[in-house]
């Protein structure tokens, strides 16, 4: 078995002479085997070993496991480092799952033990773990990368036992009369991976094919090699058709569409990741959306996570991180209706004392230049106070009323407080409230324009207004006639349908913009 592991270590160049290896040893069979295997490998490769044990504070027997590993390291003369933490409390504080928090703590601890040493982090995953991970990813939905399962080498992390099965490990320990601890949680179906380990793989071994786990793990190894090849091809293709552009990436579309269909998806994923600075939360849906923009005609946009905007400029595809308060230039907006704007509000801000909102260019006002309708409100002492009601008649929509309240002013039934239910409007009142502190420019009622978008959830994900209309099955012939309340290209409200998550009031709101529309033809949803 040692020779098998040695060949695996050499194949992936896991350990170099002079390395310091920080080995994670929980006390279980896999990690204890890892420790003894590393000691055997030291006879072939000169390197040093440090042991790191993490007490997550979850299991009652955790302190016993720590004592076992400490005693074992003492007998073997190996430096021992104990990390004690409350994973549950830390996970709650950081908004992570216990598994995520535990993983973060483990690898942060490894890095601290290594310090500035040139070395590696050794963990004890085996081929069964790899098979379980592949199935886990497959069941939840994954691409080629997810089918690699656990990789032999990932940065500084090495997995020397990935070539061994769990049975090989336990048999090797028993033959040498080496004791180990048993994690009671492994026998409970409290984690999805435990269910795969305890039920799905054993069933496959009995009813489908003996050695199923080994076969899945071997296939994952082949996928890993294929993935490495595709990564190299993707990098070469990036040189041919993509380049940095300001706060994003631009793509030569004629060159891009000459690439293989599958490779185009990988190129777009890499471009999006470069523009975003992360691959997290980037899905095939986002990649497909970007390619449709590049393959289509016109000036449509797609909004991706991390504030990215995807659009097309002639023969160039653009993936850019939007600057705060600005939309990328994507052509002149047009629509089928007269381009009339009915200005509702602009930030009160810091107008000089005694100036009117109109003179200062800010404050709360409403105007309809096309109809000659105008109303302004004065500022007192440089700030908006107890604003009076502003009314304006908007042809095709109806009478619109707006008002701004300061939080210190009585807002909700004389309480001066914002209650959670204030987001829900009683039926047929046609009134919405918005966080006025988030508004940085004029707010207008107008018809739709190209580039318009909504913030659709609390994660601040965006959707183009066009896609929203399509998803809501709004007839195409009706879309140009609808009014929207907008700040620039950001839609606050589609009357009768929904408001933007971004502008919703919260406990931190200091000023509130109230807008009411009186139109019996609007259905309140």
Percentage helix, strand, coil, to 5, in the chain? 40, 20, 40
**DSSP string over 84-134:** E--HHHHHHHHT--HHHHHHHHHHHHHHHHHTT-SEEEE----HHHHHHHH
Here the tokens at position 388 are 């009076």
CA 97 remoteness from chain centre: 15
User: From edge to edge, which strands make up the β-sheet containing 511-517?
Assistant: 390-394, 398-406, 511-517, 431-435
| Mean pLDDT (whole number) for 3-10 | 94
pLDDT of 428? 43
What single-letter DSSP state applies at residue 383? B
Residue 332 lies in a domain: no
Residue 506 lies in a domain: yes
Identify the band that residue 219 occupies on the pLDDT scale cut at 50, 70 and 90.
very high
CA 417 remoteness from chain centre: 33
Same domain, 284 and 362: no
pLDDT of 340? 57
Judge whether 378 and 490 are in contact, CB under 8 Å: no
The answer on pLDDT for 209 being more than 70 is yes
What's the pLDDT tens digit per position in 171-181?
999 999 999 88
| Mean pLDDT (whole number) for 190-209 | 86
Secondary structure E strands in 296-364? 301-304, 308-313, 316-321, 342-345
Chain position carrying tokens 């409100």: 377
Same domain, 437 and 389: yes
pLDDT of 35? 96
Average pLDDT score, the chain: 78
Here the tokens at position 281 are 């939360």
The answer on pLDDT for 79 being more than 50 is yes
Ramachandran category for residue 168: left, alpha or beta (phi over 0 → left; psi -120 to 50 → alpha): alpha
Same domain, 109 and 207: yes
**DSSP string over 339-352:** ---EEEE---TTPP
pLDDT of 15? 93
As a whole number of angstroms, the distance between CA 136 and CA 193 comes to: 7
- Give the CATH number of the domain where residue 309 resides: 3.30.465.60
pLDDT of 416? 43
Out of 206-215, 285-294, 470-479, least confident range: 470-479
Residue 524 lies in a domain: no
Nearest by Cα to 369 from 395, 337, 401:
395
| Mean pLDDT (whole number) for 197-201 | 87
Q: Could you give phi then psi for residue 18, rounded to 5 degrees?
A: 90, -5
What's the pLDDT tens digit per position in 350-381?
333 333 333 223 333 333 333 222 333 322 23
Single residue among 191, 224, 257 that ends a domain in this structure: 224
pLDDT of 489? 87
The answer on pLDDT for 188 being more than 80 is no
The answer on pLDDT for 254 being more than 90 is yes
Here the tokens at position 377 are 């409100």
Secondary structure E strands in 363-478? 365-368, 373-376, 390-394, 398-406, 431-435, 443-447, 453-455, 462-464
- Give the CATH number of the domain where residue 53 resides: 3.40.50.620
pLDDT of 236? 93
| Mean pLDDT (whole number) for 77-99 | 83
Residue 170's domain comprises 2-224
Instruction: Identify which has the larger pLDDT, 15 or 84.
Output: 15
Here the tokens at position 376 are 């302004």
Chain position carrying tokens 């990368």: 145
What's the pLDDT tens digit per position in 419-466?
433 444 434 446 788 888 888 777 888 888 888 899 988 888 888 898
As a whole number of angstroms, the distance between CA 49 and CA 37 comes to: 11
**DSSP string over 126-143:** -HHHHHHHHHHHHHH---
pTM score, whole prediction = 0.55
pLDDT of 519? 54
Which residues contact residue 222 at a Cβ distance below 8 angstroms, ignoring those fewer than 6 apart?
Answer: none
Same domain, 74 and 151: yes
Instruction: Identify which has the larger pLDDT, 39 or 425.
Output: 39
The answer on pLDDT for 343 being more than 80 is no
Same domain, 364 and 513: yes
Same domain, 286 and 220: no
Same domain, 109 and 187: yes
Single residue among 265, 290, 321 that ends a domain in this structure: 321
Nearest by Cα to 473 from 451, 497, 457:
497
Report the SS3 class of residue 435. Answer: strand
Same domain, 431 and 371: yes
As a whole number of angstroms, the distance between CA 102 and CA 99 comes to: 5
Residue 193 lies in a domain: yes
pLDDT of 81? 92
Out of 16-20, 91-95, 118-122, 226-230, least confident range: 91-95
Identify the band that residue 222 occupies on the pLDDT scale cut at 50, 70 and 90.
very high
Report the SS3 class of residue 234. Answer: helix
Residue 231 lies in a domain: no
Judge whether 385 and 356 are in contact, CB under 8 Å: no
Identify the band that residue 36 occupies on the pLDDT scale cut at 50, 70 and 90.
very high
Identify the band that residue 382 occupies on the pLDDT scale cut at 50, 70 and 90.
very low
What's the pLDDT tens digit per position in 266-325?
999 999 999 988 887 788 888 988 998 898 876 678 888 888 889 888 888 999 887 554
Same domain, 56 and 164: yes
pLDDT of 174? 93
Identify the band that residue 22 occupies on the pLDDT scale cut at 50, 70 and 90.
very high
pLDDT of 354? 32
pLDDT of 297? 77
The answer on pLDDT for 333 being more than 50 is no
The answer on pLDDT for 329 being more than 50 is no
Beta-strand pair 308-313/398-406: unpaired
Same domain, 346 and 302: no
Residue 366 lies in a domain: yes
Indicate the number of domains in the chain: 3
| Mean pLDDT (whole number) for 49-77 | 87
Here the tokens at position 123 are 């963990």
Same domain, 168 and 39: yes
The answer on pLDDT for 233 being more than 60 is yes
Residue 331 lies in a domain: no
Straight-line distance from the first to the last Cα atom of the chain, in angstroms, rounded to the nearest whole number: 67
Nearest by Cα to 496 from 432, 415, 414:
432
Instruction: Identify which has the larger pLDDT, 53 or 59.
Output: 53
pLDDT of 30? 94
The answer on pLDDT for 244 being more than 70 is yes
Which residues pair with residue 391 across a beta bridge? 401
Same domain, 314 and 359: no
pLDDT of 163? 94
Judge whether 249 and 271 are in contact, CB under 8 Å: yes
pLDDT of 391? 65
Residue 240 lies in a domain: no
Which residues pair with residue 490 across a beta bridge? 453, 487
Judge whether 499 and 484 are in contact, CB under 8 Å: no
Single residue among 288, 321, 354 that ends a domain in this structure: 321
CA distances from 385 to 9, 16, 511 (A): 72, 71, 10
């Amino acid at each position: 078995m040692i020779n098998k592991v040695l060949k695996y270590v050499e194949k992936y160049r896991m350990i170099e002479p002079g390395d310091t290896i920080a080995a994670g040893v929980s006390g279980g069979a896999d990690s204890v085997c890892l420790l003894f295997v590393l000691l055997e490998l030291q006879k072939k490769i000169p390197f040093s070993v440090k042991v790191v044990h993490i007490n997550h504070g979850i299991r009652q027997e955790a302190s016993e496991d720590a004592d076992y590993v400490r005693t074992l390291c003492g007998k073997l003369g190996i430096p021992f480092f104990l990390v004690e933490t409350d994973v549950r409390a830390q996970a709650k504080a950081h908004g992570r799952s216990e598994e995520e928090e535990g993983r973060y703590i483990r690898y942060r601890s490894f890095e601290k033990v290594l310090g500035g040493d040139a070395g590696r982090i050794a963990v004890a995953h085996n081929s069964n773990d790899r098979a379980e991970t592949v199935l886990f990813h497959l069941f939840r939905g994954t691409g080629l990368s997810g089918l690699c399962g656990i990789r032999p080498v990932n940065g500084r992390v090495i997995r020397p036992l990935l070539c061994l099965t769990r049975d090989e490990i336990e048999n090797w320990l028993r033959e040498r009369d080496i004791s180990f601890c048993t994690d009671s949680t492994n026998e409970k179906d409290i984690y999805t991976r435990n269910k795969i380990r305890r039920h799905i793989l054993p069933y496959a071994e009995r009813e489908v094919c003996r050695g199923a786990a080994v076969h899945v793990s071997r296939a994952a190894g082949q996928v890993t090699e294929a993935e490495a090849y595709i990564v190299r091809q993707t990098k070469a293709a990036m040189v041919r058709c993509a380049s940095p552009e300001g706060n994003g990436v631009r793509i030569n579309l004629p060159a891009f569409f000459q690439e293989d269909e599958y490779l185009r998806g990988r190129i777009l994923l890499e471009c999006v990741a470069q523009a975003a600075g992360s691959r997290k939360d980037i899905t095939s849906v986002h990649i497909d959306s970007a390619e449709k923009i590049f393959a289509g005609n016109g000036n449509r946009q797609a909004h991706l996570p991390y504030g990215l905007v995807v659009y097309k400029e002639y023969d160039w595809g653009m993936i850019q991180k939007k600057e705060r308060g600005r939309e990328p230039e994507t052509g002149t907006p047009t629509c089928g209706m007269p381009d009339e704007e009915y200005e509702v509000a602009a930030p009160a801000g810091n107008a000089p004392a005694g100036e009117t909102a109109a003179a200062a260019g800010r404050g709360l006002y409403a105007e309809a230049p096309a109809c000659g309708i105008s109303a302004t409100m004065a500022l007192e002492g440089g700030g908006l106070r107890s604003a009076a009601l502003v009314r304006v008649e908007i042809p095709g929509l109806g009478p619109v009323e707006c008002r701004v309240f300061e939080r210190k002013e009585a807002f909700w039934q004389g309480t001066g407080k914002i209650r959670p239910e204030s987001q829900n409007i009683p039926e047929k009142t046609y009134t919405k409230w918005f966080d006025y502190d988030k508004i940085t420019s004029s707010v207008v009622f107008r018809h739709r324009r190209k580039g318009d978008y909504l913030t659709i959830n609390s994660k601040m994900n965006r959707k183009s207004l066009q896609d929203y209309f399509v998803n809501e099955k709004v007839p195409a012939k009706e879309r140009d006639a609808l009014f929207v309340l907008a700040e620039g290209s950001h839609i606050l409200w589609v009357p009768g349908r929904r408001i933007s998550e971004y502008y919703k009031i919260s406990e931190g709101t200091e000023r509130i913009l109230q807008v009411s529309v009186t139109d019996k033809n609007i259905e309140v949803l």
